[in-house]
Amino acid sequence: MGGSSVCDGTLSLDEFNASAKALVTKWSGIDVDNALPDWEWRPCRKMGVPSETEGFVALEGVYRIGAGSQSEESDDDPVPDDVVEHDTWVQSSRDNVHLYDFHIVYSFSYKVPVLYFQGLQSGGQLLTLDEIKKDLPSHSLQLLNESKWTFITREEHPHLSRPWFTLHPCGTSDWMKLLLHKLGDKDRSLQYLSAWLSVVGQAVGLKIPLKLYCNS
């Protein structure tokens, strides 16, 4: 006896996998500009062997210009052939470039996707929380100051055994339930990740191209 698919805002592992592959396919089909790389599926490894059924989705190498370069840019001399000042701007800009990796991992506890992310300086050093705060949208920064322990925390990445920043998933099923309310059963699970990304991406300043939400 098959029960009806009650929309409680959660996903099974199979639904997560299907939604992840739908995201990967649709994203690669969009003519995203060169600034954004592709999402790709990463099978998780157990005892060195890639798993057939478990994995996560990765978007890596997302550039973001640090806030420090803004003031430098505003000081840029309008004379285009000013070589010295131009070099200074380039140098300053390079030093403030941050590189972000985003992973979407399935949580068996909460039955929802969870975002894990980390930032690197151009020299390869990991960004600290204070450095990442400078890249966050202002509303997220405010929320982080209010809910230090339960909004963005540094937790162990389930597949990599290393600390990564993560958005706490305990409220996800509640707001996903609202978001998906009007979709049919099939659309609901396939479009879950795209809808989820529209909220989570905003929280961490990851811009999502609008074409992801168009039927094409």
Partner 1 sequence: MATAAAWSEEAARLVWGGAVPLQVHLHDADVTALPPPPPFLTLGPRIGYFPLLVSTIKAHFSSSLPPGVDTVWFEYKGLPLKWYIPIGVLFDLLCADPERPWNLTVHFRGYPADILSPCEGEDSVKWNYNNSLKEAAFIITGNSKNVMNMSQADQLAMWESVRKGDLDSYMNISTKLKLGPFEEDFLVRTSSLEPRQGSDEPESPGSVKPCRVPVRLYVRRVQQDLEYLEDAIPVSDWESVSYINRPFEIRKEGGRSYIALEHALETLLPEFFSSKPAARAADPEPAATTPDSEPKDSDTSPSTHHDEKPPPASPQETDVAKKTKLKLVRVQGIELDMDIPFLWVANNLKNPERFLHVCVYVSA
Residues of the shown chain interacting with partner 1 in the complex, contacts defined by CB under 8 A: 1-3, 5-6, 8, 12, 14-15, 18, 46-49, 52-53, 108-110, 126, 129, 149-150, 153-156, 158, 161-163, 168, 170, 173-174, 185-186, 188-189
120/199 with CB nearer partner 1 = 120
Cα 152 from Cα 108, distance rounded (Å): 19
Q: What is the closest distance, in whole angstroms, from the C-beta atom of residue 118 to partner 1 in the complex?
A: 10
- Active-site residue, 170 included: yes
7/32 with CB nearer partner 1 = 7
HSE (CB half, 13 Å, CA atoms) of 180? 27
15/135 with CB nearer partner 1 = 15
- For residue 104, how far is the Cα from the chain centroid? 7
102/164 with CB nearer partner 1 = 164
Q: What is the closest distance, in whole angstroms, from the C-beta atom of residue 18 to partner 1 in the complex?
A: 7
Q: What is the closest distance, in whole angstroms, from the C-beta atom of residue 60 to partner 1 in the complex?
A: 17
Cα 150 from Cα 172, distance rounded (Å): 13
Q: What is the closest distance, in whole angstroms, from the C-beta atom of residue 5 to partner 1 in the complex?
A: 5
Catalytic residue numbers read 170
